Amino acid sequence: MIFLDINTSYSDLGGGVKTFHLAKIKWFEKHPEHSYYLCYPSKRPNSVKLAPNIWKVAFYGIPSVNPQYRFLIDYISAFRFIRRVNPDVIEVGDPWVTPWLAIFCQKTRLLRGQLVHFFHSDPIISNLEPWAEENNGKIRRIVTAAATRLFYRLQQQFPQIVVTSPFMEQNLIAHNVTAINLVPFGYDPLFRENGFVRRENSPKFLYIGRLEPEKGICLLIDALPSLFQIDGFQLTVVGDGQFHDFFQAHTNPKLTFLGYIEDRNRLVNVFNDHNYLLAPGGYETFHLSALEAMTNGLIVIGASKGGTNDLVSMYRAPLTFPPNDAKELVKAVEKALAVDVAQRSKESIEISETFKCWPDAIEQLINCYMKK
């Protein structure tokens, strides 16, 4: 079969979406009976053959607010290419313009393959609703309500939608979207192979992810003055994005900024040097970094909403805090320092064992597509 993904949210510079697509590439490398194309935006259009059956194809895109990412605008070339490839399965991976055009092309029979929307993100939850809550603006709420109806009406048109967390599944069902398959993300076996049960009660905390508001980074910044008052508290920040310069310029000795780390072995070393992961994002569809941390044995403290809460609530006594509440985040950190570290670290690993490693997770996804 021929599989093709088109995803404006993909970037060679990082992110969970990149991890997902790299896992797919590795899976297809071991399954030459299938062909796989990854279409994404770039500054320079190009085509790279990664293996006899695997291609990465870039189409022109303009810079987004985050310099790591681009918005695809050359849809004419992209859809001409898709028609030429004539894939059996077309996976749309972003929530912006691509789904609208994909549905239009299928309705008009310009595209004939099985059309799937892989729900990597929900802009209503992560962007519009927080925007509408700012300043309690009436016009913003009206605009958001109209956009919400339109957005979920579009999702109802897809013959199949894939989500990665119960939170996203329940949210779509609440908006009368029913053609849903729940396929959670996987984890890199490297994190498990090098993980261990923490035993030393060391107050070393880690944040890993994009430095963007939707990831809860503003909440973490608001909490920093109080966190620095906790005896022995140490925080390492890994990632890049809008608040890169803030962390780069920070001089408090309790904070270490490492920027974006691509090398997985180096990331393992960073994980191994910490006991706790802070996951402040309340708008995650699936918190991949939290799963990877659990797999390695870290104790996760996270927001009580979204995909983050789906993972953290699996603890027998979850360490959570409401999104946008810096005081409660600090209290959750203080509670974390009082728990039995070995018992909670062991529980992290046990929770992660209920998920699949990446090869098995991708196998589950492909089988889901092939059954249709």
pLDDT digits (tens, 9 = 90+) for 17-29: 999 999 999 999 9
Best CA proximity match to 42, nearest among 83, 92, 78: 78
pLDDT value for 64: 87
Question: In a 3-state reduction of DSSP, which class is residue 10?
Answer: coil
pLDDT of residue 32: 98
pTM of the model: 0.94
pLDDT digits (tens, 9 = 90+) for 294-319: 999 999 999 999 999 999 999 999 99
Helix ranges (DSSP H) in 90-243: 97-107, 123, 129-133, 138-155, 166-174, 189-193, 217-227
pLDDT at 371: 83
pLDDT at residue 197 in the model: 98
Are 276 and 286 in contact, with CB atoms under 8 Å apart? no
Q: Where are the beta strands (DSSP E) in 64-110?
A: 70-72, 89-92
Residue 370's CB: how many other CB atoms inside 10 A?
A: 13
What confidence tier does 105 reach under pLDDT thresholds 50, 70, 90? Answer: very high
Instruction: Provide mean pLDDT across the span 184-209.
Output: 96
Question: Across the chain, what does the average pLDDT equal?
Answer: 95
pLDDT at 127 > cutoff 90: no
The CA dihedral of 322, 326, 329, 331, to the nearest 10 degrees, is: -110
**pLDDT computed for residue 237 by the predictor:** 98
Mean pLDDT on 46-65? 96
Q: Given CA atoms 17, 19, 25, 31 in this order, what sign does their dihedral have?
A: negative
Within 10 angstroms of residue 142's Cβ, the number of other Cβ atoms is 11
Distance (Å, whole) CA 210 – CA 14: 9
* pLDDT at residue 48, rounded to an integer: 98
- The structural domains of the chain, ordered by start, are 2-121+156-186+357-370 (3.40.50.2000), 189-352 (3.40.50.2000)
- In angstroms, the CA 292 to CA 206 distance is 12
The closest of 2, 14, 101 to 369, measured between CA atoms, is 2
- Whether the per-residue pLDDT at 343 is higher than 90: the answer is yes
- Of 242 and 134, more confident: 242
Distance, CA of 179 to CA of 159 (rounded, Å): 6
Please say if the pLDDT value at position 1 is more than 90. Answer: yes
Residue-wise pLDDT for 78-95, tens only, equals: 999 999 999 999 999 999
Q: Which two tokens stand for residue 83?
A: 């028609």
pLDDT score of 75:
96
Rounded distance between C-alpha atoms, residue 233 and residue 84, angstroms: 57
Work out the burial of residue 204: count CB atoms within 10 Å of its CB; fewer than 13 is exposed, 13-18 middle, 19 or more buried: middle
Burial (0-12, 13-18, 19+ Cβ within 10 Å), 334: middle
pLDDT exceeds 90 at position 114: yes
pLDDT at 244: 94
How many helices and strands (H and E) does the chain possess? 16, 15
pLDDT at 131: 86
